[in-house]
């Protein structure tokens, strides 16, 4: 199938990618609200259950760099079906786990599949579709990822309270099976020439990702002291330097850093990372503030996130028109500043704030986030061709994964800072100042997008 005349069957390919995005983002968020229930059922303390999240995140960091090479070598359809099969199998084993070690091993199997699902599905989109269709297609796909993030916490709490925690994993199975069947019928089996497998590069780059991810995950739980934080970042930086030296000497490196010469790719990657440092922690901060700070129930706090999901759905039909009317540069700069303003307003809410005010803020947040993610993802890959699509797509997935961990960790670190003895703020005051700080970071991140040119992404 050519890009200029793809078939009706090929036009359904975004649905396969959307399923992968939804199931991965749902699984990443649905577990958080259920961990205390799992800990109680398995007779562990809640802090010991953090290893379930950390093992999953580290496995993602290890295998994501491998996804593009495997897809090009063995075919996108074959590897995607294998990835989803591993994810579904891991989900089943998680539901059957009777001990913490068994659950950790099952989550690792899940993560191996998850590390390949979305990168391979999105790579197939890049190979299948002309660049003029990317904005509309990526806009559609991003919606399902956002829905999974927003629905996950409330669904996890509901299933754990009304059925059992096992169901938070069992819900993945029918969705995954649908994805496998659709991929078998719809997804082309794209293959491209690859060089000799860069094992040394994979080890260096993945270890660097693992160290930085581990440090950020543990920072968010307050389990590390500053000497350990500094040591972890030093090791990660050293490994990245060793990888850069290896990259300069290798003909076909696992991650081609030379792609950063593509200006829109570089700006998009940097902008995605910096912007999410500010907004990435909100899905964690809002329920925490509403429950721990204001005394709302888990059900109510979860429901208050749903308006953002509905707003995402509503605005998706207009995102393409908005970006094409004003251009990527104008949209990304103004929308990033608007997100910062929403965070400022969240810094003023209190226990007596009427619920409709929360709902209005969540609607604005959902609209702005929907536009932001669609624009950032699309501008990042807008200038890639068939030769650079695999490497650029892998770099985008890595940056997204890092930014998610960084966003949550930075939010947790800022909150802990304002709760420390140096400030001595009450819990509600610490939340307010945390939102103010993240708002400033978000507004300043808009400067990254000033490097874009007026015509960037308009193809």
- What is 1-194's CATH topology? Growth Hormone; Chain: A; (1.20.1250)
11 Cβ contact partners less than 8 Å away, ≥ 6 residues apart: none
CA atoms lying within 13 Å on the CB side of residue 381: 33
Q: Select the highest-mean-pLDDT range: 215-219, 227-231, 337-341.
A: 337-341
Burial of 429 (0-12, 13-18, 19+ CB in 10 A): middle
Model pLDDT for residues 341-390, shown as the tens digit of each residue: 999 998 888 878 888 888 898 899 988 988 888 888 888 888 877 777 77
pLDDT tens, position by position, 10-20 = 577 888 888 88
Residue of 148, 365, 415 lying closest to 357 (CA atoms): 365
Contacts of 317 (CB under 8 A, 6+ apart): none
Helix (H) or strand (E) run with residue 122 in it: helix 100-128
Q: Answer yes or no: same fold for 1-194 and 261-459.
A: yes
| pTM of structure | 0.75
Between 183 and 422, residue with greater pLDDT: 183
Predicted pLDDT of residue 3: 45
Identify the residue with better confidence: 315 or 423: 315
CA atoms of 18 and 44, how far apart (whole Å): 36
Percentage of the chain beyond pLDDT 70 is 88
User: pLDDT at residue 28 above 80?
Assistant: no
Helix axes 355-381, 263-279, angle to 10 degrees: 160
CATH 1.10.10.10 fits 261-459, yes or no: no
81-85-87-92 Cα dihedral, nearest 10 degrees: 160
Q: Pick the most confident of 286-295, 314-323, 335-344.
A: 335-344
Q: Is 249 left (phi over 0), alpha (psi -120 to 50) or beta?
A: alpha
Q: What is the mean pLDDT of residues 122-150?
A: 76
**Per-residue pLDDT at 219:** 66
How many other β-carbons are positioned within 10 Å of the β-carbon of residue 341?
14
Q: What is the per-residue pLDDT for 202?
A: 83
How many angstroms separate the CA atoms of 200 and 253, rounded? 9
Which tens digit of pLDDT belongs to each residue from 60-85?
Answer: 777 887 888 888 888 889 999 999 99
**Whats the size of the chain, residue-wise?**
459
Whether the per-residue pLDDT at 7 is higher than 80: the answer is no
Taking residues 130-150, what's their average pLDDT? Answer: 73
| Domain ranges, ordered by start, for the chain | 1-194, 198-253, 261-459
Longest CA–CA span in the chain (Å) reads 64
223 C-beta neighbours (distance < 10 Å), count: 12
> For residue 1, what pLDDT band results from cuts at 50, 70 and 90?
very low
């Amino acid at each position: 199938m050519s890009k200029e005349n793809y078939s009706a069957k090929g036009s359904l390919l975004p649905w396969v990618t959307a399923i992968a995005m939804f199931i991965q983002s749902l699984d990443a968020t649905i577990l958080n609200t259920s961990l205390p229930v799992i800990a109680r059922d398995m007779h562990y303390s809640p802090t010991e259950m953090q290893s379930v999240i950390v093992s999953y995140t580290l496995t993602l960091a290890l295998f994501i760099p491998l996804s593009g090479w495997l897809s090009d070598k063995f075919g996108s359809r074959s590897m995607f079906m294998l990835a989803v099969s591993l994810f579904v199998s891991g989900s089943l084993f998680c539901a059957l786990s009777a001990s913490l070690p068994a659950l950790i091993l099952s989550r690792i199997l899940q993560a191996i599949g998850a590390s390949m699902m979305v990168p391979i599905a999105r790579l197939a989109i890049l190979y299948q579709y002309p660049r003029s269709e990317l904005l509309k297609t990526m806009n559609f796909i991003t919606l399902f990822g956002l829905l999974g993030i927003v629905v996950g916490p409330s669904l996890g709490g509901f299933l754990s309270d009304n059925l059992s925690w096992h169901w938070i994993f069992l819900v993945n199975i029918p969705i995954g099976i649908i994805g496998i069947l659709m991929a078998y019928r719809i997804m082309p089996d794209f293959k491209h020439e690859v060089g000799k497998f860069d094992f040394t590069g994979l080890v260096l780059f993945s270890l660097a990702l693992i160290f930085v991810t581990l440090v950020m995950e543990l920072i968010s739980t307050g389990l590390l002291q500053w000497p350990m934080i500094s040591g972890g970042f030093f090791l990660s930086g050293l490994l990245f330097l060793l990888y850069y030296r290896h990259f300069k000497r290798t003909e076909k490196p696992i991650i081609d850093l030379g792609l950063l010469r593509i200006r829109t790719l570089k700006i998009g990657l940097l902008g995605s990372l910096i912007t999410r440092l500010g907004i990435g922690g909100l899905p964690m901060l809002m329920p925490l503030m509403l429950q721990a700070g204001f005394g709302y129930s888990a059900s109510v706090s979860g429901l208050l996130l749903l308006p953002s999901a509905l707003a995402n759905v509503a605005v998706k039909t207009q995102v393409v028109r908005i970006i094409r009317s004003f251009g990527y540069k104008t949209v990304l700069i103004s929308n990033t500043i608007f997100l910062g303003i929403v965070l400022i307003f969240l810094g003023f809410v209190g226990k007596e704030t009427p619920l409709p005010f929360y709902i209005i803020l969540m609607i604005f947040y959902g609209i702005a986030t929907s536009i932001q993610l669609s624009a950032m993802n699309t501008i990042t890959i807008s200038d890639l061709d068939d030769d650079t699509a695999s490497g650029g797509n892998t770099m985008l997935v890595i940056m997204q994964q890092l930014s998610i961990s960084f966003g949550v960790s930075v939010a947790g670190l800022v909150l802990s800072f304002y709760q420390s003895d140096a400030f001595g703020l009450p819990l509600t005051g610490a939340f307010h100042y945390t939102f103010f700080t993240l708002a400033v970071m978000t507004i300043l991140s808009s400067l990254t997008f000033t490097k874009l040119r007026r015509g960037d992404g308009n193809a």
